[in-house]
Amino acid sequence: MSTNNQQVSEQGMRMRRMLLGHTVYAATLGLVCCLTWIGELSPQSLAIYSTLLIATTLSFMLMIRLGWNLRFKDPSLTTWAILLPSLYATWVLFQLDDAVHRAPLLFMGVVGLLFGAFVNRPKTMAWIAVALVLYYAAVIGALQLFAPQRITWSEELLLFVAYAATQAQIVLVSLYIAGLRSRLVRKNKALKEASQRLEELATRDALTGLPNRRACFEQLDHERSRTKAMVTGGACKSLCIALLDVDHFKRINDCFGHGVGDDALIQIGRAVRAVLRKQDFFGRYGGEEFVLTLPMTPSDTALDLLESVRHAIAMIDLEHNGQIVDLSASLGAAIHAPGEAIEKTLTRADAALYEAKNLGRNRVCLAPELRPHAQAV
């Protein structure tokens, strides 16, 4: 969904950019109308030019509207949006009698080229500039061949040099803009990575690398929203919430030191993550206590999975100065009932955890399932 929204946004931006660029051609059309009004251009030439320009503009917009532009290497169609209208303007330039009247129309197209500098790479802009200079060179050549009386070489040479120099300047501007754009992309990437690191620091336990207490509460809140939506839709599936407490953890710290205790928590995190499924959540709730959420998991499957977790912790091989450090954990779990508040389910899991401890620890206890009711989630 996010990819589709991004594509829609990009297409909208391309459409706006196309409209903005074609305001230049609208101004050029106005200039051609003025040239026709003062008698420098025939009404037939005006009709041909305006028809070609309007048809091309509408075609580009239709292509963006229908998404056909996405088939091209440059979906913005900027290169063609510059070259085609400029080709029509070149034909008009050939109709004019002298360099004085050709100059305004010639340099009006330069403004349109500037819009391409914000999108195209400098190499592409260089090719476009060369093409536009060749356009005008073709006009001069055609005038010399077919209407030499309408050409004054000193004026045409001055105009040609000025036009070529302007195109070169625009290519340099595009090179500068490309550098700014590249730096902006790098800075945005660095900012995004920094933001991700900050987010990770805010939601990850520094010792174990597991989601921290804040992330645990966010996960429970997510389960609350998801469960509420499922209850509303009549499609509620089993959700198991479990609490895990490392047995006699204070004794481990007292006998072997806090460094060994920290190592024990790290290895427990790794062992449990290796057992859980991809959709399961496992976070450090605080101290030696952890929380698990097992979505789409009925009671029998939840018990099997939590027994695997308990067994994985018991199998951890931890030594200190040649002495074996025994690890075990007690787990209390509850199956969320449709309509039950998530906090209530967590309270029942906590009661089951205390039952596991009272029964001798190193075991899994499951709270009795509640019958569905209509309380608010």
Q: What is the average per-residue pLDDT within 30-53? A: 92
Which run of H or E residues covers position 282?
strand 281-286
Average confidence (pLDDT) over 26-46: 91
Burial of 4 (0-12, 13-18, 19+ CB in 10 A): exposed
pLDDT of residue 372: 56
Strand partners, 246: 329
Q: How confident is the model at residue 375 (pLDDT cuts 50, 70, 90)?
A: very low
SS (H, E, C) 216-279: HHHHHHHHHHHHHHHHHHCCCCCEEEEEEEECCHHHHHHHHCHHHHHHHHHHHHHHHHHHCCCC
The predicted structure's pLDDT at residue 371: 64
Is residue 5 scored above 60 in pLDDT?
yes
pLDDT over threshold 90, residue 273: yes
- How many degrees, rounded to 5, is the angle at CA 236 between CA 230 and CA 239? 110
Mean pLDDT of the residues in the chain? 87
pLDDT band at 235 (very low <50, low <70, confident <90, very high): very low
pLDDT band of 374, cuts 50, 70, 90: very low
Q: DSSP assignment, residue 211? A: B
135/114 Cα distance (integer angstroms): 17
Residue 201 has pLDDT above 80, yes or no: no
For 116-170, the DSSP string reads: HHTTS-HHHHHHHHHHHHHHHHHHHHHHHHH-GGG--HHHHHHHHHHHHHHHHHH
The span from the CA of 376 to the CA of 177, in Å, is 56
156 is catalytic: no
The answer to whether the beta carbons of residues 317 and 343 sit under 8 Å apart is no
Instruction: Output the six-digit token pair for 319.
Output: 């030594």
Question: For 15-24, 296-305, 307-316, which range has the lowest pLDDT when averaged over its residues?
Answer: 15-24
How far is residue 114's CA from residue 179's CA, in Å, rounded to a whole number?
16
Count of C-beta atoms within a 10 Å radius of residue 309: 27
350 vs 120 pLDDT, higher one: 350
pLDDT value, residue 190 = 87
Catalytic pick among 288, 340, 343, 355: 288
Percent of the chain with pLDDT over 90: 46
For the segment 115-128, the average pLDDT, to the nearest whole number, is 82
Tokens representing 277 are 């499924």
Residue 187, burial from CB neighbour count under 10 angstroms (0-12, 13-18, 19+):
exposed
pLDDT of residue 377: 46
Q: What's residue 82's pLDDT?
A: 87
Nearest alpha-carbon partner for 273 in 211, 327, 317: 211
